[in-house]
Chain A
C-alpha cells in the first residue's frame, strides 16, 4: 500500500493545504511586488494597497453581478479601473509629497485606505458578497495523489506569468532600464530627456493594478468583503520586511514561500497559522535585519 500519511496527516489533505498556501502566496507575491515597485520609484509605502486589492475584488463582483460579463473581461477591466484610479491618486495627491519625509506618504495612503474601506463598508456592509467560481474553472483535476481544483491552478498560473513578465520588463528591457535608472537618480534620467513624472505616474498605476489583479484572482477563493484588504496588507508588510524591497525576484519568492509555510502551519499547528508570518519576521529581524534579499542602505 502506498504511504498515504505524513506525521498522521493524510497526503491529500497536506497537498490540498499546500496548494491553498501557494494560492495565498500568489496574492502575497503580487501585492509585495507592487509595493516594491512603487517604493522603488516613489519612495512611498502604499498603505492603500490592501484597499485597492479589495476594490479590484468588489469591482469584479459588481461586473459579474450587474453587467453579467465574462470573468475574462473582469480580469482585464478590474485592474485597468484600479490602475486609472491610481493615476488619479498619484496626480492629485501623492505628487505633492515627493519633497517631504516619506513617512507622510505612508500617512496619506493610510488615510486614503480608511476612506476607501469606509465608503465600501457603507455601501456593501461587512458581510461577504456572494461570488461563484466561473463555470469554466469549476471541478478539479485528478493528479493521482490529490485533486487539484482547476481554479487554484489558474490562479497560480496567472500569477507566475504576471510576476515573471514584470520581472522581465524591469530587469531585461529598455523601459525597465529607464525605470531602474529613475529609481537611482531621477534628475539625471530627466536630463537624458525621459519624462520622469509620467514614468512615476505609470509606475504607481501599474503597482496598484497588480493589487487590483490580485483582488480579481482572490475574489472566488475568499469572502469578498470591504474588510478583506486591511488585514492582508499588514501581512504583506511583514512579507516585505522579511524579503526586503531591493529585489523584484526576492519579493516574488518571499511571497510564494511564506504562503507555503502558512499552508503547512495550517496542517500541523493551525492555531499559529495567522501569526506564523509575523513570527518569521521576528526571526529574520534577529538574524538578518536587512531582510533576506535586502541591501543595507
Chain B
C-alpha cells in the first residue's frame, strides 16, 4: 500500500516538475528532450517489451516530420491536422516496414530495418518535396485548434508536454494490458508463445506499427518545435541515438527511455560546443560502456539497487 502511495507521490512530483520546468530552463531545449523521450519510449515498446531491435526508427520520426512540415508549410494545413497526418504517414510506413522485417528474426531483423531506413533516406535525398540537402525551412508553428497560438515557446511547451503525456500514457496502458503481456511473452520465449497458440507475427506487427506511429508523433512535434526538418531526422545516426537513449536509460523499464533521452540530449547540447566532432566518439564510448558494464541501464540499475537495499532490510 505504501509502495503505491510512494509511486503516486513520485508521479505527482514529476508532473509538477514538468509543469514548472519551462520557467527555469530554456523551453526549446526541454521540448526537444521531450520529443526524443517520447521517441525513445516508442522505441522501447519494441526493444524493451517485445525484444525486437529496430535500427531504422529514424525513418518513422523523419517521415512524420517531413509530412507535417510539408503540409503545414506548403499546403497551409493547420498544425494539429498536420501532426495527425504525420502520425498517419508513420503508421503506414510502419505497417510496410513491419510486414517486411518480421519475416526474419533476431539479428536479421535489425539489419533489415536499418537497410529499409537507408532506402527511405536515399528516397528523401532525391525526392522533390523534401528540399533535398536543404530540408524544409521556416515551417509555421501556426495555431492549435484555431485558437492557441504556438509562436510563444512556453505555450508550445505545454502543448508538447501534453502530447508527450498522451503518448507516454498510451504506452503505459499498452504495456500493462493483456496485449502487452503477450508481447512480453514473445520477448521471453517466442517458441513458447507460438505453442500457446498466439499468432506471434500479428502481435509483433501490431507492436511495430504502434511504435512507428508514436515515433512519428515525436517526429512531427519536433518539426513544429524547431520549424525545420532536415535529412538528419532520417539519418541512421538518429536511429542509433534512440537505441542509445533506451539502452542508457534502461530498456524494458517505463521511465528508462525518458531518463536516457534527457541525458543524451543534454550531453549532446553541452558537449557539441566544447569538443566538436568528438561527440560521436563519446556517444560511441557510452554505447560500449553500457553494453559491457550496465546492460540494465540507469533506471534498471537503480531499481536493482533499491530492491537489494529494501530486500536486505527485510
Enumerate chain A interface residues (CB-CB to B < 8 A): 39, 45, 93, 96-97, 100, 102-104, 106-108, 110-119, 121-122, 230-231, 234-235, 237-238, 240-241, 271, 274-275, 278-279, 281-282, 285-286, 289-290, 297
Give chain B interface residues in 265-295, CB to chain A under 8 Å. 276-288, 290-292, 295
Are the CB atoms of B291 and A104 closer together than 8 Å?
yes
Are the CB atoms of A118 and B280 closer together than 8 Å?
yes
Q: List 5 A-B contacts (CB under 8 A).
A: A114-B280, A115-B284, A117-B284, A122-B281, A241-B111
In Å, the complex CA distance between A119 and B277 comes to 8
Are the CB atoms of A111 and B115 closer together than 8 Å?
no
Are the CB atoms of A114 and B112 closer together than 8 Å?
no
B17 within 8 A of A: no
Contacts of B290 in A (CB 8 A): 107, 111
Q: Which of B101, B111, B277, B278 contacts A45 (CB 8 A)?
A: B111
Are the CB atoms of A234 and B114 closer together than 8 Å?
yes
Q: Name the residue in A108, A111, A112, A279 with the highest tally of chain B Cβ atoms < 10 Å from its Cβ.
A: A111
Supposing A93-B292, A103-B110, A118-B277 touch, asked if A111 and B104 sit within 8 A by C-beta, the answer is no
Contacts of B92 in A (CB 8 A): none
Q: Which of B103, B118, B278, B292 contacts A96 (CB 8 A)?
A: B292
In the assembled complex, the CB of B190 is this many whole angstroms from the nearest CB of chain A, namely 12
Q: Which of B108, B119, B286 contacts A111 (CB 8 A)?
A: B286
Which 8 A-B residue pairs are closest in the complex by CB-CB distance? A111-B287, A114-B284, A118-B280, A115-B284, A118-B281, A278-B119, A289-B103, A238-B115
Are the CB atoms of B114 and A282 closer together than 8 Å?
no
Contacts of A103 in B (CB 8 A): 53, 106-107, 110
Supposing A237-B111, A285-B112 touch, asked if A111 and B118 sit within 8 A by C-beta, the answer is no
Q: How many inter-chain contacts with C-beta < 8 Å in the A-B complex?
A: 123
Secondary structure class of chain A's binding surface, majority of residues: helix
In Å, the complex CA distance between A204 and B285 comes to 21
Contacts of B126 in A (CB 8 A): 271
Contacts of A241 in B (CB 8 A): 104, 108, 111-112, 115
Are the CB atoms of A238 and B111 closer together than 8 Å?
yes
In the assembled complex, the CB of A269 is this many whole angstroms from the nearest CB of chain B, namely 12
Contacts of B105 in A (CB 8 A): 297
In Å, the complex CA distance between A235 and B114 comes to 10
In Å, the complex CA distance between A128 and B171 comes to 45
In the assembled complex, the CB of A222 is this many whole angstroms from the nearest CB of chain B, namely 18
In Å, the complex CA distance between A289 and B102 comes to 10
The closest CB in chain B to the CB of A102 belongs to B107
Are the CB atoms of A278 and B118 closer together than 8 Å?
yes
Are the CB atoms of A112 and B284 closer together than 8 Å?
yes
Are the CB atoms of B119 and A275 closer together than 8 Å?
yes
Contacts of A231 in B (CB 8 A): 118
Contacts of B21 in A (CB 8 A): none
Contacts of B277 in A (CB 8 A): 118, 121-122
14 other contacts beyond A103-B106, A241-B111, with CB at 8 A cut-off?
A45-B111, A96-B292, A106-B110, A108-B292, A111-B285, A113-B284, A118-B281, A118-B283, A122-B276, A122-B278, A237-B114, A282-B116, A282-B119, A285-B101
Are the CB atoms of A114 and B287 closer together than 8 Å?
yes
In the assembled complex, the CB of A46 is this many whole angstroms from the nearest CB of chain B, namely 11
B306 within 8 A of A: no
Contacts of B279 in A (CB 8 A): 118
In Å, the complex CA distance between A114 and B287 comes to 9
Supposing A118-B277, A281-B112 touch, asked if A107 and B119 sit within 8 A by C-beta, the answer is no
B243 within 8 A of A: yes
Contacts of B108 in A (CB 8 A): 241
In Å, the complex CA distance between A93 and B295 comes to 14
The closest CB in chain B to the CB of A103 belongs to B53
Q: Which of B104, B122, B236, B288 contacts A274 (CB 8 A)?
A: B122
